[in-house]
Amino acid sequence: MYKGYIVDRGLLKKDQHFILACPQCHQGNGGILSKEQAHKGLVKRPSDNMSNCAMCHKQVTDKYAKSLHYTTAGQRNGVMPRFSKEELKKFDGKVFEKSCRSCHASCGDCHVKSPAVGGISTGLLAKHKFVRKDEGKTCSSCHGGRVYPEFTGEYGGAPDVHYQKGMLCVDCHKKEQLHGDGIAYTSKNQVKDRPSCRNCHKPGSEKNPAARVSHQTHAGKVSCYGCHSGGEYRNCQQCHAGEGAKAKPQMILGLSPRNKKVLTTLRLVPTVRDTFAKDGIKMENFDALPNYWDTPAHNVRKRTDRTRSCDACHVDRNNFLTKETLIKDGSKANEALIIVPKPIKR
Amino acid sequence: MRNQRRFVFSLLFIAFLQLFFTQAILAAVDSSSCVTCHTNESLIKSLYKAPPLLHAEEGEG
């Protein structure tokens, strides 16, 4: 879209970033009027080299260089246990650096220009203004397959109650978390101060006595999402390098692979046995991990089938993972996530 | 008294230099071919070529 390349001339005198001439960040040649010559050596994404931003924002860039958004270490470490040592070397060289790592977000992806997905970007966020945030054009691009459309209701079903109340990504995922705190985490689950429902919804503060009792009864046994996920969310599976994945809406309830004492919403991991077959990686330890991970489904509702009636889980067992509903040829670790809720003594 | 005058004069001189160079830089930025083209909507529209569409891909997360 050509509009994505148009710069607001008025910004040049207002914004300190433009005190430096364009080639200072973008290279190329500002003095020549032929398009080809002017663009020779052009750097499209100057913030890929963070030293450009570090000239003024060193404190942020130093931390950001270790953040999960930049390192994408979560993707590597999430699948790593499935590989033998030799396979991991192959994965790092053939897949991670060329595919997963290409998704890393640079400063400009959030503050200047929408990140490209499938080769397409909607262009400059606000005519090259350096914006603090614009979740609908930035977060939504990379997280637009599952989380963002679930949150806004575009995937079907009702939008997340927080979205309806006017909240967006950065209201829960604070800038300190997005920029990182200088620690090179291997997974988002290691981050201690990541968003938590309880940061705002303090236990015991419920106005409705039935809700208070229900929260006390299920504390430590069921995650908030287990009851408050509004319905089906997107589950991608059968992902193959270069082909992409297939998706379908589902709600899956089962034990969290990270804490088998807690019932929660599960989401299918797109990786299947032959995902990396084209790259010569068989995944010798495929069964070390299940095909489902606990997921913070971003379609939270105050009232759901499960908050209205105990029977939804304790009698009907709606959406619970069973042997029959496990994916075919899945990991042997999947069965450990099945839970059968106990009947209630009335 | 003389030192005070020198100090004030130095301050004014530095301010003048800063203003001069900032304006000079801004003028250079403003007249560069980057700015000439990228602030001209009709020109950019005429030069724009849509990028090739890669395989269908949706966001992560």
* A53-70 tens-digit pLDDT: 999 999 999 999 999 999
Give the tens place of pLDDT for each residue, A20-29.
Answer: 889 999 999 9
Nearest Cβ partner for B29 among A18, A140, A243: A18
Distance CA(A189)–CA(A177), nearest Å, equals 12
A to B CB pairs, distance under 8 Å:
105
CB pair distance less than 8 Å for A118 and B58: yes
CB pair distance less than 8 Å for A244 and B38: no
Report angle CA A128, A134, A140 to the nearest 5 degrees. Answer: 115
Nearest CA of chain A to the CA of B24: how many Å? 10
pLDDT at A206 (0 to 100): 95
pLDDT at A30 (0 to 100): 85
Cβ-contact A88, B30 below 8 angstroms: no
CB pair distance less than 8 Å for A143 and B60: yes
**What's the Cα-to-Cα distance from A7 to each of A48, A120, A130, A164, A225, rounded to whole Å?**
20, 19, 11, 33, 43
Which pLDDT tens digits describe chain B residue by residue (61 residues)? 667 878 777 777 776 666 555 555 545 555 678 999 999 999 999 988 887 766 555 545 5
* Cβ-Cβ contacts under 8 Å, A33 against chain B: 33, 36
- A304 closest CA partner among A204, A225, A215: A225
Mutate to test the interface with A, among B18, B19, B31, B34 (most CBs of A within 10 A): B34
Domain ranges of chain B: 2-37
Cβ-contact A332, A291 below 8 angstroms: no
Structure tokens at B1: 């008294």
Q: What are phi and psi of A208, to 5 degrees?
A: -90, 120
Nearest CA of chain B to the CA of A307: how many Å? 27
* Cβ-Cβ contacts under 8 Å, A122 against chain B: none
pLDDT at B53 (0 to 100): 65
Alpha helices in A65-118 (DSSP H): 68-71, 73-79, 85-90, 107-111
pLDDT at B16 (0 to 100): 64
pLDDT at A102 (0 to 100): 79
**What's the Cα-to-Cα distance from A230 to each of A98, A237, B49, rounded to whole Å?**
37, 22, 43
Nearest Cβ partner for B29 among A21, A120, A244: A21
Distance CA(A60)–CA(A179), nearest Å, equals 7
Which pLDDT tens digits describe chain A residue by residue (346 residues)? 788 999 999 999 899 999 888 999 999 998 877 889 999 999 999 999 999 999 999 999 999 999 999 999 999 999 999 999 999 999 999 899 888 787 788 999 999 999 988 777 889 999 999 999 999 999 999 999 899 999 999 988 899 999 999 999 999 999 999 999 999 999 999 999 899 999 999 999 999 999 999 999 999 999 999 999 999 999 988 887 667 778 889 999 999 999 999 999 999 998 999 999 989 999 999 999 999 999 999 999 999 999 999 999 999 999 999 999 999 999 999 999 999 999 988 7
pLDDT at B22 (0 to 100): 53
Cβ-contact A38, A96 below 8 angstroms: no
Structure tokens at A252: 């899956």
Distance CA(A339)–CA(A221), nearest Å, equals 12
Question: Which residue of chain A has the CA closest to B22?
Answer: A19
Distance CA(A195)–CA(A192), nearest Å, equals 9
pLDDT at B3 (0 to 100): 76
- A326 closest CA partner among A252, A261, A215, A218: A252
